[in-house]
Amino acid sequence: MTNYKVTGSVMLLAGFMSTAAQAEVVVEWWDFLGGGDGVRMKQLIEEFNAEHAGEISIQATTLEWGVPFYTKVQTSVAVGEAPDIMTYHASRIPLAVSQNVLSEITADDWATMGLGEGDFASATWDAVTIDSAQYAVPLDTHPIVLYYNKELLSAAGVLTDDGVPMGMDSLEGFTETMRALQSNGVKFPLGSVTADGNFMFRTIYSLVGQQGGELITDGEFLTGDNAEKLANALAVLQDWTNEGLQSTYTDYPATVALFTSGEAAMMINGVWEVPTMTDLNAAGNLFEWGAVELPMIFDQRATYADSHSFAIPAGDMDPETRAATLEVMSWMLKNSLFWATAGHIPAYAPVTATAEYAAMEPNATYSPLTDNMIFDPKSPLAGVAGPIFDVMSTYFVPTLNGEMDPTEAVEEIIIELNDM
Amino acid sequence: MLRNTRRETLVALVLIAPFLAIYGLTFVYPTVAMVNLSFTDAPLIGPGQWVGFDNYTRLAGERRFDTAFWNTAYFVALSVIPGTFVAMVIALGVSRLTGRMQALVLALFFLPYILPVSVVYRLWDWTLNFQFGIAMYVFDIWGIERVPIFKTTTWFMPAVAFVTIWWTCGFSILLFLAGLRAIPAEIYEAASLDNTGRWTMFRRITWPLLWPVTALVTTIQLILQLKIFDQVYLFSTGGRPNDNLVLVYYIFQRAFVNNQGGRAAAIAVVLFLIVVIVSVLNFQLMRLAERRK
């Protein structure tokens, strides 16, 4: 604390002295990082500001994730009140480009930042590229994982000697694990966000991917047997509900609470909840826990992932501010090892190649999944909180809670997707 | 004394000019612009191409418009008359009290009205949340099965209507109280001299004399509840907004989520017409009923 105060006053002093010679460039920053990862991002921003005192200062605002954030971005760009830099989901970039919301990151910009294609995994680079132009700088990839309560699993005899859940390689195996937990008195073997179709898109899309299915083929929705694959994925989840293996009508905060309170033994959620668990555990308020790649329910491994990236909104920007913004992005990527403590997998390859990263837990346990990551289809209709997300989510909730038949849900989804 | 009517007209014009200017700028102009917009394929911000009645004709076959329309109608049915009734009953009760006691009870009933909608949402989510709501633990004690109130379409609208009545009836109670106080006490005295029963007194005196206030309250409620948005938006976040869609929510979705300003404007015009027609009809019906008495 005292340290901060000292740095603060030094910064203030430096600020006063330098105003005459050179004004500090203020970079206005918007993000949607409200959870445990937001706390880490604020720390990174503070470090950046301390290191760039007198030159650049980030003025950060955290807004609500999802539709509210992207709505605000769109309107602010339209009226010329956008920030200088904002976090953006790579999956939303096709939509953003079609709406002219983003400013291109040019070859010169990349050179200024000292970054380039070679620093990123090809899938990640591809996710921010539209028609061979880049519109954002990837910060991380964030897949969903399976969180588990080691104490409950061990008590039910379904924890391996390596400390991971048993039955991770088949539907039968995983269902058996859940049944064992259930007969051992666990209220919900699996905590699922069954009230929020938007959230469940990630799990369901992973299960479709595990059958090699895709949502859009040549611009058509769910062609051929892809519809059947979606129905299969929904049927598996509905069976779990019918057997009482997963929590029903549960919203996002309640799901996390069910898991952290020990009422649910496992939970499928994004890696962004890693800091929540780490912090609770460090404070002595959480059991021993772990996180692994999703179980292989169908024939191949596949996990949904998206990427947080930095983007510059479209519109006029003076050269100094743009240079400062590029410096912010470059610095954040090069210091993204700390961002990995938020559970995310840094996109900047030199960071993930370090020994420190390789030793980091639980990241090391689930990082093999990076080979099996699938991203959203590249379409202006796709992306988090986008139109496809929205349409499909409408029918996920009734299906997952046993109100609607999976095949009927798929028929309705196809009708409404084609209705857009 | 001779009156200079021309001069008077001029003064009148000058006096109402500021109001007219503001009214024109903030109401008439945007309304006309919105109607114009509804005939184009404009995005949220910026101009669009003229598309005629396309935005309107496609509403007819749209599932979401259908859902939004019927949900709004259902919500109005669940909230306007019951809300008015509840407020009247409470007002009748409160009017029997006197002095400090009356002030206290009135304040208690009025309290929810001053809460912002976000607080109302938090309170009721804490109470009715399926996993952690206080009411659910009470259900458990009584052996009643838990109900995911805000997550099923069966319970969502009735629950939101209930919360809305709880939240807003304070204002209607005030209106009814004012109406009750305006009824001269002599009428009741005269009636009691004639040995009139309590029910007859209500039916023959209170109800007809309170009628103008009742008409006012239902009309205000009707307009307000047709424009329902906040509660539905908040209670369906993290749930199933598309099943609980109401008209204003649908306008929001088209305009701000799907970036379709033209289509959103068309829904807004439809809602505008519905509000005008329904409220005029309601008021006229109420007046007719009054005359019959």
**Which stretches in chain B have pLDDT values below 70?**
1-2, 292-293
In a domain, B38, yes or no: no
Alpha-carbon dihedral B133, B134, B138, B141, rounded to 10 degrees: 80
Residues of chain A found within 8 Å of residue B63, distances taken between Cβ atoms: 416, 419
Candidate from A99, A253, A419 with C-beta closest to B259? A99
Pairwise CB contact (< 8 Å): A71 & B256: yes
Chain-chain contact of A75 with B129 (C-beta, under 8 angstroms)? no
Q: Which residues of A touch B67 (CB under 8 A)?
A: none
Token readout for B74 is 């259902």
**In angstroms, what separates the C-alpha of A238 from chain B's closest C-alpha?**
16
Residues of chain A positioned with their CB less than 8 A from the CB of B46:
78
Contact B251, B20 (CB under 8 A): no
Cα distance between residue A40 and residue A46, in whole Å: 10
Interface check B227 vs A, CB under 8 A: no
Residues of A within 8 A of B239 (CB-CB) are 195-196, 251, 397
| Residues with Cβ within 8 Å of residue A166, at least 6 apart in sequence | A158, A159, A160, A173, A176, A177
Tell me the CATH number at B161.
1.10.3720.10
- 0.80 cut: is pTM over it? yes
Q: How far is residue A292's CA from residue A366's CA, in Å, rounded to a whole number?
A: 5
Q: Rg of chain A over CA atoms, in angstroms?
A: 22
Instruction: Tell me how many residue pairs between chain A and chain B have CB atoms under 8 A apart.
Output: 67
For each successive 10 residues of chain A (420 residues), what is the average pLDDT?
48 47 84 87 95 94 88 88 95 90 94 94 90 95 94 95 94 96 95 91 95 90 92 96 94 93 95 91 93 95 94 92 95 94 91 91 86 88 82 92 93 85
Check if A67 contacts B (Cβ < 8 Å): yes
Residue with token string 């009707």: B222
B130 touching chain A per CB within 8 A: yes
HSE toward the beta carbon, residue B283, CA cutoff 13 A: 11
Dist. CA B241–CA B232, nearest whole Å: 8
B151 touches chain A (CB under 8 A): yes
* B145 has a chain A CB within 8 A of its CB: no
The pair of structure tokens assigned to A330 is: 């470059």
Which tokens sit at A393? 């989510």
Query: Which residues have CB under 8 Å from B190's CB, separation 6+?
Result: none
Q: CA B116, CA B111: separation in Å to the nearest integer?
A: 11
Which residue from B177, B150, B139 is spatially nearest to B243, judged by alpha carbons? B150
Report the alpha-carbon angle A54-A58-A61, nearest 5: 150
A303 touches chain B (CB under 8 A): no
What is the DSSP track for A253-289? HHHHHHHHTTSEEEEEEEGGGHHHHHHHHHTT-S--E
Number of other residues whose CB lies within 10 A of the CB of residue B225? 21
Q: List, in order, residues 6 or more apart from A132 with CB less than 8 Å away.
A: none
Q: Is A199 helix (H, G, I), strand (E, B) or coil?
A: helix
- ipTM given for this complex: 0.79
Assess contact for A324 and A25: CB atoms under 8 A: yes
Instruction: Nearest chain A residue to B45 by CA: give it.
Output: A78
Question: Do residue B132 and residue A196 have CB atoms under 8 angstroms apart?
Answer: no
Distance from CA of A205 to the nearest CA of B (A): 19
Closest CA to A392 of A219, A182, A234, A183: A234
Name the residue facing A397 among B132, B240, B256 (closest C-beta): B240
- Nearest CA distance, B160 vs chain A (angstrom): 17
Distance CA A363, CA A141 (A): 12
User: A2-139+307-358 has which CATH code?
Assistant: 3.40.190.10
Tell me whether residue B169 is in a domain. yes
Determine, yes or no, domain membership for B15. no
**What is the C-alpha separation between A241 and B289, in angstroms, rounded?**
54
Peptide linkage before A189 cis (omega within 30 of 0): no
Does a structural domain hold residue B274? no
B29 within some domain: no
Q: Enumerate residues 1 to 60 of chain A having a beta carbon within 8 A of any beta carbon in chain B.
A: none
pLDDT of residue A22: 61
The CATH 3.40.190.10 domain(s) of chain A lie at 2-139+307-358, 143-305+386-418
Residue that the structure tokens 């206080």 belong to: B134
d(CA B39, CA B49): 8
Q: Do B130 and A394 touch (CB under 8 A)?
A: no
Q: Are B51 and B40 in contact (CB under 8 A)?
A: yes
Q: Which tokens go with A170?
A: 């088949």
Task: Tell me whether residue B112 is in a domain.
Answer: yes
Question: Where do the H-state alpha helices sit in A289-405?
Answer: 319-334, 349-352, 355-358, 363-366, 387-400
A115-150 burial by CB neighbour count: b if 16+ within 10 A, else e? beeebbbebbbebbbbeeebbbbbbbbbbbbbbbbb
Residue B229 structural domain: 77-244
Q: A254–B129: do the CB atoms touch at under 8 Å?
A: yes
Q: Look at chain B and report how many structural domains it folds into.
A: 1
Provide the token pair at A85: 């830099």
User: Is B129 an 8 Å CB contact of chain A?
Assistant: yes
Residues of B in contact with A256 (CB under 8 A): none
φ, ψ for residue A125, nearest 5 deg: -60, -40
At the topology level, CATH places domain A143-305+386-418 in D-Maltodextrin-Binding Protein; domain 2 (3.40.190)
- Residue B258 confidence (pLDDT): 81
**For strand A25-31 and strand A56-62, is the pairing parallel, antiparallel, or unpaired?**
parallel
Of A67, A251, A257, the CB nearest to B257: A67
Distance, in angstroms, between A67 CA and closest chain B CA?
7
d(CA A273, CA A258): 13
